[in-house]
Amino acid sequence: MARQPARSRKPGLVVIGGTRAQRALGAVWLVGAGPGDPDLLTFRAFNALRGADVVVHDGLVSEEILDLAPSRARRINVAKRKSRHTLPQDDINQLIVALALDGLNVVRLKGGDPFLFGRGGEELAACRAAGVECHVVPGVTAALAASASAGAPLTHRGSAQAVTFVTGHAAHGEPDLDWTSLARPNQTVVVYMGVSTAGLIAERLVAAGRAGSTPALIVENASRADERRVLTTLASLAEAAQSVKGPALLMVGEAMAMAEVQSPPSFEGRGDREAADAALRRGGEFK
């Protein structure tokens, strides 16, 4: 039987097979966007953004950083807020995998660092399970930016021999933390997502033995133009946190007495500042 002539096709189109299995796979880049200031973005993150076909981003990623992606790149906002998620995490995992399986170069743009309370590990695992190539690009986490801008070192000889990052948020009930360990003096405890539970965190730390007079710093919108710092004490942390509206970090420890703030609500006079400096020098309590 004679072969039937092929139907005419539009010029410039080549059909290889038309199935996903025969299509070249894309890749996923888990990129840390840092705390918001574009100047804190790494070169590798910038290069990943410039090569993106689609950017799946958190709500806290600044517009200045999103604008670094090519104009042709599709943006998908998967913002998460307390009790209000655009997409559940499992759906985000499936989304980035599906986009990569469709042959797209996917940048999953996450505030801060992907592996520090960013659920990057879950997204990496999903990519691996699907056989999708996945690259991880570290970012400047908010604690580092907040510490640097406030001039309050996370570690400091004589007053902070260790630093611990914890989350103040738990899916159900209070966070499962080793309060006794966190209450030891001469260390810095950085609490992510802890504003709404500041009272509980302070209560648990004091009950476990941390002095209520320990300096505590709240940094709201770290690294951004509207960054705000509140210097207080562990005993007054809950009250101070009530004035915070945006995303913020709680930082507790003797070294936080070094923080520079515009209008400190607790260290109101020169005597209080001198007392804080003295506490820092002796690695003891602020009284």
Q: Which residues pair with 108 in a beta bridge?
A: 30, 56
Per the annotation, the verdict on 245 as an active-site residue is no
Which among 53, 58, 110, 113 is annotated as catalytic?
58
Element (H, E) at 163: strand 163-167
Per the annotation, the verdict on 53 as an active-site residue is no
Q: Give the C-alpha separation, 139 to 32, whole Å.
A: 4
Q: To the nearest 5 percent, what fractions of the chain are helix, strand and coil?
A: 30, 20, 45
Q: Give the C-alpha separation, 248 to 198, whole Å.
A: 11
Amino acid at the residue 194: G
Q: What Rg do the C-alpha atoms of the chain give, in angstroms? A: 24
CB atoms within 10 A of CB 254: 26
Amino acid at the residue 15: V
Residue with tokens 């025969």: 22
Specify whether the CB–CB gap between 40 and 113 falls below 8 A. Answer: no
**Which residues, in sequence order, are CB contacts of 104 under 8 Å at separation 6+?**
26, 53, 54
Which among 10, 53, 67, 80 is annotated as catalytic?
80
Helix axes 89-101, 120-130, angle to 10 degrees: 40
Q: Give the C-alpha separation, 99 to 103, whole Å.
A: 7
- Active-site positions read 58, 80
